[in-house]
């Protein structure tokens, strides 16, 4: 279960509306490498992890990503609240989003593709899942880098830099975790068996009769 704290992990206080920027930043809410996907990926993968340390890490990071999702939603909301019709008309980048969602916060990529579970995996294989998680953190960091290239609002950029830092920390923690899991697994077989599933015999040595 979760306990909700009515505050953000890092404060979001945006003074200048900017629907064009919101149309880019929404990607870290519902895009292929965004915070919704990160939280769903880790909170789903945790169940099949055979080691307590990996299960705990995925739960910790998955929960933190829910908090990041909330921060990205707050940025998008604060950049788009109280817009006039004229401001929407003057921002063709935001207008397609506006047509479908007005100024509601909706999980979609900047390209307009709605969030899909097809952008994440949960394989039940320790090495496959943790390797995906390492890549996911780098892709999220890169998306934040791209947002920083497109934004010159310091109120936004302070928050984006905080989120970017957390992706780097998560990458490091997943790196430690994958090393630990390999140590705990039968080293010669780490790429050939999954201790969560192949309880008695690695898949590659099983006779199919």
Min dist. Cβ of residue 188 to Fe ion (A): 32
Min dist. Cβ of residue 39 to Fe ion (A): 9
Min dist. Cβ of residue 99 to Fe ion (A): 31
Residues 64-103 that bind Fe ion (CB under 5 A): none
Min dist. Cβ of residue 60 to Fe ion (A): 11
State the CB neighbour count (10 A cutoff) for residue 79.
Answer: 27
Min dist. Cβ of residue 63 to Fe ion (A): 11
Q: Are 49 and 196 in contact (CB under 8 A)?
A: yes
- Rounded Cα distance between 92 and 23, Å, is 10
Give the residue among 22, 21, 39 at the shortest CA–CA distance from 119. 39
Site string for Fe ion, 146-185 (x = CB under 5 A): ---------------------x--x---------------
CA distances from 102 to 27, 81, 107, 181 (A): 17, 10, 13, 46
| Residues touching Fe ion, count (CB under 5 A) | 2
- The smaller minimum CB distance to Fe ion, of residues 46 and 170, is found at 170
DSSP, collapsed to helix, strand or coil, labels residue 199 as: coil
Site string for Fe ion, 25-44 (x = CB under 5 A): --------------------
Comparing every residue's Cβ against Fe ion, the nearest one is 170
- The smaller minimum CB distance to Fe ion, of residues 73 and 185, is found at 73
Q: What is the CA radius of gyration of the chain?
A: 20
- The smaller minimum CB distance to Fe ion, of residues 53 and 186, is found at 53
Q: Specify the DSSP class assigned to residue 108.
A: B
Min dist. Cβ of residue 68 to Fe ion (A): 7
**Residues linked to residue 114 through DSSP beta bridges, in sequence order:** 108
- Helix/strand number for the chain, H first, E second: 8, 0
- The smaller minimum CB distance to Fe ion, of residues 150 and 169, is found at 169
- The smaller minimum CB distance to Fe ion, of residues 103 and 164, is found at 164
- The smaller minimum CB distance to Fe ion, of residues 42 and 94, is found at 42
- Rounded Cα distance between 46 and 42, Å, is 6
Q: DSSP H helical segments within 6-51, as ranges?
A: 19-25, 27-30, 35-45
Residues at the contact surface with Fe ion, assessed by CB under 5 A? 167, 170
């Amino acid at each position: 279960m979760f306990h909700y704290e009515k505050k953000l992990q890092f404060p979001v206080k945006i003074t200048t509306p900017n629907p064009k920027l919101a149309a880019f930043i929404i990607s870290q809410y519902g895009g292929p490498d965004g915070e919704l996907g990160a939280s769903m990926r880790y909170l789903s993968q945790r169940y099949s992890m055979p080691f307590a340390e990996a299960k705990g890490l995925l739960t910790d990071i998955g929960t933190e990503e829910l908090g990041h999702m909330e921060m990205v939603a707050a940025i998008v909301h604060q950049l788009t609240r109280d817009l006039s019709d004229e401001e929407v008309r003057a921002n063709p980048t935001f207008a397609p989003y506006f047509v479908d969602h007005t100024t509601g916060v909706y999980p979609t990529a900047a390209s307009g593709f709605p969030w899909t579970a097809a952008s994440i995996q949960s394989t039940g294989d320790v090495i496959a899942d943790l390797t995906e998680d390492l890549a996911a953190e780098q892709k999220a960091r890169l998306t934040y880098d791209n947002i920083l290239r497109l934004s010159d609002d310091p109120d936004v950029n302070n928050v984006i830099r905080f989120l970017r830092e957390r992706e780097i920390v998560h990458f490091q923690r997943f790196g430690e975790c994958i090393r630990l899991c390999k140590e705990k697994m039968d080293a010669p077989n780490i790429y050939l068996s999954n201790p969560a599933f192949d309880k008695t015999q690695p898949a590659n040595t099983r006779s199919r009769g």
